[in-house]
Structure 1
Amino acid sequence: MKIVLSEGALKWFQEEMDAAKGDTIRFYVRYGGSSPVQQGFSLGVTKEEPIDMAVSVQHEDVTYFIEDRDVWYFDGHDLHVVFDEKKNELVYEYKK
């Protein structure tokens, strides 16, 4: 599995989460919401130090990651994070 971030998503992280060199940003599973891969769960994002990083990608010295305990949620899919300009928000896409 891998994490793929669009240029728009990277810009969103810089502007909305003040992502800067050395930061670590976690994608995590939360109860509730909706998802095409897991009923009753959705994905959240936060600035957080890793504990047991399973998957990560770096852009401009910012690390984006998923903890080992959350890998089940993706059910073998890669996470693609894109920015939807019309909705002005991040969109998570899951691709095999």
Structure 2
Amino acid sequence: MKITISPVAQQWYQENIDLKPGDGLHFYGKVYGKTNVHQGYSIAFAKQKPQQPYYEVVYQQISYYFNDEDVWFFTGYDLQIDYDAKVDSPTYTFVDETSK
């Protein structure tokens, strides 16, 4: 269970969510939608400083994380976040941890 974020996706978050060093971005699963591995759930995020994250990765002094209550959504998968210039938005791909 890890999160990797491409530099261009990091830049998108910084510019569009107004993330600055010391800020955090909380990822979690929400009802409705889908991902490449979830039916009925999609990924959401909120600008929040982490309190006690279950998992956290820091890029350019910005925390990207999920909490204990989000573990169910990420268990067994790594989340790869990239950027799609055609739609000017991040892309989210879950990769099975065992496929490495």
Structure 2 length normalisation: TM-score?
0.89
Alignment of 1:31-70 (within 5 A): 31-70=31-70
- Structure 2: gaps of 5 or more residues: none
Measured after TM superposition, the shift of residue 74 of structure 1 is 2.2
* Aligned residues of 1:81 and 1:91 also touching (Cα < 8 A): yes
Q: Which moved more, 1:33-42 or 1:49-58?
A: 49-58
- Structure 1: gaps of 5 or more residues: none
Report sequence identity in percent.
Answer: 34
* Aligned residues of 1:37 and 1:74 also touching (Cα < 8 A): no
Extract structure 1 runs of 4+ deviating beyond 4 A. none
Structure 1 length normalisation: TM-score?
0.92
2: CA distance, partners of 1:70 / 1:95 = 17
Superposed CA deviations along residues 50-72 of structure 1, whole A, max 9, x for unmatched, are 34411110011110001111111
1: CA distance, partners of 2:43 / 2:27 = 7
Alignment coverage as a number of residue pairs = 96
Aligned to 2:91: 91
* Aligned residues of 1:26 and 1:50 also touching (Cα < 8 A): yes
C-alpha RMSD of the superposition: 1.2
